Amino acid sequence: DAGVIQSPRHEVTEMGQEVTLRCKPISGHDYLFWYRQTMMRGLELLIYFNNNVPIDDSGMPEDRFSAKMPNASFSTLKIQPSEPRDSAVYFCASSTETIPSEVYEQYFGPGTRLTVT
């Protein structure tokens, strides 16, 4: 398997623009997580899905952020409108409960570095 795939790897946009980050989890994984990493706040869980259903979105900063998972192989994180304080590295991770040796192990993608000017 190619691992968790994220696109784009880098995104530079102007304040006020819409930004869409994409994630393809590992095939067969039934959990998907979106994280944000900054120097000031460290690694924060934004939202996670189980079988394509959002389970906990308490980490989503505000209404400007939204996430969807239309099917088991694709998820998006959208920011509209974007602001400079959204600049961060956004990670997607996936995991499964169906393989006992991998229970609770999250596999991370390479991240998307977002810069909002």
Give contact residues for other proteins (rule: CB under 8 A).
4, 31, 33, 42-43, 45, 48, 50, 55-56, 91, 93, 95, 97, 103-111
How is 35-95 classified by DSSP, letter by letter? EEEETTTEEEEEEEEETTEEEE-TT--STTEEEEEEETTEEEEEESS--GGG-EEEEEEEE
- Residue type, position 100, single letter: P
Shortest Cβ distance from residue 109 to other proteins (Å)? 5
C-alpha span between 54 and 36 (Å, rounded): 17
Q: Which is nearer to other proteins, 15 or 43 (CB)?
A: 43
Shortest Cβ distance from residue 75 to other proteins (Å)? 15
Q: Which is nearer to other proteins, 58 or 71 (CB)?
A: 58
Shortest Cβ distance from residue 105 to other proteins (Å)? 5
